[in-house]
Amino acid sequence: MHRVAGVHERLEQFMAGLVRRNPGEPEFHQAVREVAEGVIPFVMAHPKYEEARILERLTEPDRIITFRVTWQDDAGGIRIARAWRVQFSNAIGPYKGGLRFHPTVTRSVLKFLGFEQILKNSLTGLPMGGAKGGSNFNPRGRSANEVMRFCHGMMRELHRHIGEDTDVPAGDIGVGGREIGFLFGQYMRLANRFTGVLTGKGLAFGGSLVRTEATGYGAVYFLQNMLATRGDEIAGKTAVVSGSGNVALYAIEKLNELGATVVTASDSDGFVHDPHGIDAERLAWLKELKEVRRGRVREYAKHFGCDYHEKQRPWRVPCRLAVPCATENELDADDAETLLDNGLLAVAEGANMPSTLGAVHAFRGRKILFGPAKAANAGGVAVSGLEQSQNALRISWSREEVDRQLQAIMRDIHEKCREEGTDADGFIDYVRGANIAGFRKVADAMLAYGVV
């Protein structure tokens, strides 16, 4: 009894300090709280981490670079946006993490993403620190030429802060293969170096096979591993997916391959419900719509004659598997209850922090299989790590080889969650497991360095 009260007090005291030091940053507070709920009891049971104040040090970024990006729009007007690179921790490797271009990007959003990235990267077993960056630039509706000018403008400043052994950015929302090409081209020109300073590159200039597919495929591999602990499988089940970007499209592809029926996809305007299932043929159409024509999912509904739900999220559609792949806080406690009442078996988070804390508590309370983002979506950054290895070795591995390594990494992350997160009754708390396993490695490295 005494012990439990102590943990609660310590958690609230820690969070009060964090909130005081980081005012007006709700996403960052949320991400830290989710981790602290599991890590504080662990730290209290291991005084070496408590005495070295590892959690306090790990929640303070190494540095945050804030800068202006100026570019010219298609009409010749001068535009200004704000950009950041949050270099959170390089305790176990060079900073690593994506860049996001979206009007909702703030310092708080990038701090939450950078913090999550530390533990996610640790879970992959590869030597990568945690970082995130991006801009409140809104690429929607802008021409490819204007996006190019923005990317070149951004790299004019970013280039002096990154390097293959320092910090290696990649994609995230609004930053895909096209943007990485523009960013890499400008880096090369400014630095006069051809090196693996970004991942998610095109195959012609150092990219890795399977990086495009890796996050979505990895989330489904993780789901497969979770279901296997209950003697179950993906085949024959209905799945609800949100989003229609990089992560969603390849999650749908792998779910299809493994025999599920995926009945939804969405974007920020609404979702499409296709009871027939987004099969291989329909997925090819959706990919072309999103990746080439850069259209909206409502066009899918029109083309295939199914329902479109404006300004709604897909969680009311009955399913056994839910794979949120759009953005943070897109699934709340009410959505979780609805999904659970409709017979939900498992969730694999493709997006970062898609479930609110209330939703996470609801899933854990009902003891379903819940794969949190830092474990379930780690396949993307893991293959980024493999891209860095291939660049360093100046070789390219085959599709089969990279996919084999991705599957092995996802299996290994699942195993780490199981080792650290199994309750006395046999229930695997993947949230606690992922947080403690990710934390332990980084914390041990920090202990070895002394007070730095």
Check residue 380 for interaction with ligand 2IT (CB under 6 A). yes
- Residues shown for the chain: 452
* Nearest position to ligand NDP, beta carbon: 245
Is 206 among the residues that bind ligand 2IT (CB under 6 A)?
no
d(CA 140, CA 319): 31
In the shown chain, the binding pattern of residues 116 to 145 toward ligand NDP, with x for contact by CB under 6 A and - for none, equals ------------------------------
Is 352 a binding residue for ligand 2IT by CB under 6 A? The answer is yes
Contact between 109 and 329 under an 8 Å Cβ cutoff? The reply is no
Alpha helices, H only, 46-195: 47-51, 54-58, 107-123, 144-158, 177-191
Least Å distance, CB 215 to ligand NDP, is: 4
Find the shortest distance in angstroms from Cβ 104 to ligand NDP. 6
C-alpha separations of 277 from 88, 241, 265 in Å: 41, 11, 10
Q: Which of residues 97-116 bind ligand 2IT (CB under 6 A)?
A: 97-98
Q: H or E element: which one contains 370?
A: strand 369-371
Comparing CB distances to ligand NDP, the nearer of 169 and 380 is 380
Of 19, 215, 200, the closest CA to residue 111 belongs to 19
Binding-site member from 195, 268, 407, 422 for ligand NDP (CB under 6 A): 268
> Residue 97, interface with ligand NDP (CB under 6 A)?
no
Active-site residue, from 132, 237, 290, 416: 132
Give φ, ψ of 258 to 5 degrees: -90, 10
327 binds, among ligand NDP, ligand 2IT, none (CB under 5 to 8 A by kind): ligand NDP
Q: Residue 111 catalytic? A: no
Burial class, 138, CB count within 10 angstroms (exposed 0-12 / middle 13-18 / buried 19+):
middle
Q: Which DSSP letter does residue 290 get?
A: I
Of 196, 207, 350, 433, the one binding ligand NDP by CB under 6 A: 350
- Pick one of 85, 96, 432, 440: the residue that binds ligand 2IT (CB under 6 A): 96
CB of 262 to ligand NDP, least distance (A): 14
Dihedral sign (CA 337, 343, 345, 349): negative
Query: Per the structure block, which two tokens stand in for 252?
Result: 């749908």
Sheet holding 264-267, edge to edge: 264-267, 270-273, 307-310
Enumerate binding residues for ligand 2IT (CB under 6 A). 96-98, 117, 120, 170, 172, 199, 352, 380-381, 384
The catalytic site residues sit at 132
Enumerate binding residues for ligand NDP (CB under 6 A). 102, 104, 171-174, 176, 215, 243-248, 267-269, 325-327, 330, 350-352, 377, 380
